[in-house]
Amino acid sequence: MAAFETVPRSKISGRHLRVAVRGGQGRPLLMCNGIGAKLELLAPFLDRLDPAIPVIRFDAPGIGGSELPRVPYNFATLACRLGTVLDDLGYGEVDVLGISWGGGLAQQFAFQHPRRCRRLVLVATATGSLMVPAHPRVLSKMITPRRYRDPAYAAAIAPTIYGGRLRADPGLAEEILSSHSRRASGLGYSLQLLAGAGWSSLPLLPLIRQPTLILAGDDDPIVPVINAKIMHRLMPRSTLYIYSDGHLGLITRADDLGPRVAEFLRPAPVTI
């Protein structure tokens, strides 16, 4: 596994943003994580992603090692500020992957920065406030970061909110979320919820022209798979792949999805 370097100097509006960079060759992949999740969460996926691909990860403001912002933010302002972070790191064009909440941010980044985003990967995500919603019993368990603080609680609710493999093996949720234990910020989590309040990408999707890979689980209680099908129909250059798993399939099916994403990101061969 290639080593990551934490870059403490990156800031958003004067507040430190925890950023980790894996070196490599070619165009970097900027990864936008799910709500409440630290950058370590996707380590199993990165272990299966081609190590030659440079990767940039970050903790959202108020999450993990990133400081709380001075004022609330939304997807548009965060996408703008991520552009500044890329400038600080010396990167121009990037590929972008977003999962769940981070998928909303990734869509906004692709729309706002069309010349900086070459390809887009959207995983277990939807269009924001205008989407086919989860069942209320699932949404009720998403309003606090308790699952990141209490491993036993995470295992208890894993079948209900994550679905897929975690229905049969809920204890796996403890392992996946163990690095977050007792470190999830309630205020940072609330600011992430607020950032997406009222936001929708639905009218923007036909305007996102980047080649896009949409990955969706067929048993995802948080983001029903119909949302991925709607996005695919509205995005002119999208490819849809439905995998047999739940909301955390990027981790639990990393052996399949890691190589699949790498193949999508590789440049097409030049024919002479």
Mark residue 64 as left, alpha or beta (left: phi above 0; alpha: psi -120 to 50; beta: remaining). Answer: left
Q: How far is CA 116 from the centre of its chain?
A: 18
Q: What is the CA radius of gyration of the chain?
A: 17
Q: State the CB neighbour count (10 A cutoff) for residue 111.
A: 20
Residues that are catalytic: 100
Cα(30)–Cα(48) distance, rounded to whole angstroms?
16
Q: Which residue in the block uniquely carries the two structure tokens 């493999």? A: 165
Residues 6 or more apart whose CB falls under 8 angstroms from that of 162 comprise 173, 221, 222, 246, 247, 248
From 254, 234, 253, 235, select the one nearest 244 (Cα to Cα). 253
Residues 13/220, Cβ–Cβ less than 8 Å:
no
